[in-house]
A and B are shown apart, each in its own frame.
Chain A
Amino acid sequence: MRNLWIFISRYNAFFFFIIFFSIGVVLTVRNNSYQRSVTINSTNKIVGDVYINLNVLKKYMNLGSVNDSLAVENAKLKTEILALKNIDTAKDVVVKDSIGPPQYTYLSARVIKNSITNRNNFITINRGKDDGIETNMPVISPGKGVVGFVQDVSDHLATVRSLLHKDTHISVSLKRNNAVGSLVWGDRNSDYRKAYIKEIPNHFKIKLKDTVVTSGFSFFPSGIPVGTVSNTGISTGDNFMTVEINLFNDFSTLQYVYVIKNKLAKEQTELEAKLPNEQ
């Protein structure tokens, strides 16, 4: 017994290493699981407050470009309102929606923490449970494409698993021929302006500069612009092709985002959970 103690104390560096390293790895693995219930992250009160305060300066510096993008969006919305009004007055059509209020409602939020250099990136926004945010709600950026999904929610803050994450898959389609694929990021590429669409069947003809939009099969509403095709010559060796796209959304200057509340999300999930799992 005494020899054992002498042995352990002589090589204490190694044993301490084993203990602490295991704790670190266990934390990582648990953190990698789909639903994180830990509090040591940026939805935490202390860390969140630091980010909110740090963000004040950056927000001020970017006011110009944010104003511009908001003005552009305002103009677009005004045009749409005008168009709707015109239709109404000319034809006197009453559009009756059978489910009452619209299926999707948007909630604006400010980005208080953002990262683009990691393999798995997260964004923290200043809306939380009190504003009705729930996990898995889709997040888009104003007028310029998808951002990601809500991952964790605290009372006043929420983390968003950005598109720049290895576990984020978004169903997208090509606007021209409706070929559906899966949008992923980061396979041998860590450029935040590029992403890949995988699993497009081989028989579709795809041209450069084709526009890519969300398909509406995942939680995102359909038709949100995502990017343009930039490279079609990636060989995969199977019956599906992989296409590289340039994202419309610039993740490095993200300031404001919209969280989309889908009225039917819960219903859809419950219904789809009843399907027999035969794959």
Chain B
Amino acid sequence: MATPFVYILFLLLLPFGIPNLLLYLIAFATGLTLDAFYDTLGVHTAACVTLVFVRILFISVTVSRDGFDEPEPTLGNMGIKWFLLYAFLCTFAHHIVLFFLETFRLTEFSYTLLKCLLSAVFTLFLVTLIEFIFYNRKVR
């Protein structure tokens, strides 16, 4: 019922300074690689691209453009509240696109949505867990 996709942590943790086009290209390549192994050409690709879009929007709204104090949006750098909201929005957007493209019909709408939500929570849990394992708060 709930399938986690932890690989999105890679896209979540890319540094702030990367130009948008490069971000999209990285997401595209990541998605295509996963699709090759899952035999679902295009599904993960579209989902990864959506994730990067949400990531760019969220960062442009919450972090000031001039001074990126931190190099990467990690839990240790940004604090738990910011990171949780960031990770949840990105994960949820990714999973919605992923599951709906995979199902590709609306007759199973509510079931797919439920599956999507449970998987997103599972992924979020694992992502946060991994972040806590590699947690290092910067000494200011």
Contacts and interface: CB of A to CB of B under 8 A. Distances in A.
Contacts of A188: 108, 111
Interface in B10-56: 20-21, 24, 27-28, 31-32, 35-43, 45-47, 49-50, 52-53, 56
A38 interface: yes
Contact of A119 (B24, B42, B99): B99
B139 interface: no
A126 to B, nearest CB: 15
B102 A119 contact: yes
Contact of B102 (A30, A40, A118): A118
A26 B42 contact: yes
B57 A24 contact: no
A190 interface: yes
A154 B57 CA distance: 42
Nearest to A22: B46
B39 A28 contact: no
- Could you say which interface size class chain B belongs to? 35 or more
B46 A16 contact: no
A16 B60 CA distance: 15
Contacts of A178: none
B57 A41 contact: no
Contacts of B43: 24, 28
A22 B47 CA distance: 11
Contacts of B81: none
Contacts of A118: 3, 38, 40, 102
Given A12-B20, A12-B21, A17 B42 contact: no
Given A17-B49, A187-B108, A31 B42 contact: yes
Contacts of B42: 23-31
Say what secondary structure dominates the interface of chain B: helix
Contact of B41 (A38, A50, A166): A38
A40 B56 contact: no
B103 interface: yes
B105 A42 contact: no
A279 to B, nearest CB: 21
Contacts of A119: 99, 102-103
A1 interface: no
Most buried by A among B60, B99, B107, B108: B108
Contacts of B57: 13
B1 interface: yes
Contacts of A182: none
A196 to B, nearest CB: 13
Interface in A1-41: 12-14, 16-17, 19-21, 23-32, 36, 38, 40-41
B28 A40 contact: no
A24 B49 contact: yes
Contacts of A36: 41
Interface string B48-79: 01101100110010000000000000000000
Contacts of A47: 36-37
B73 to A, nearest CB: 16
B4 to A, nearest CB: 10
Which 9 residue pairs of A and B lie closest in terms of their CB atoms, listed nearest first? A24-B46, A27-B42, A28-B42, A24-B45, A17-B53, A122-B39, A20-B49, A31-B41, A13-B56
Interface of B: 1, 3, 20-21, 24, 27-28, 31-32, 35-43, 45-47, 49-50, 52-53, 56-57, 60, 99, 101-105, 107-108, 111, 115
Given A24-B43, A166-B103, 11 more contacts: A13-B20, A13-B60, A23-B42, A23-B45, A24-B42, A40-B35, A40-B36, A41-B39, A44-B36, A188-B108, A190-B115
9 contacts: A21-B46, A21-B53, A23-B42, A27-B41, A28-B42, A28-B104, A120-B40, A187-B108, A188-B108
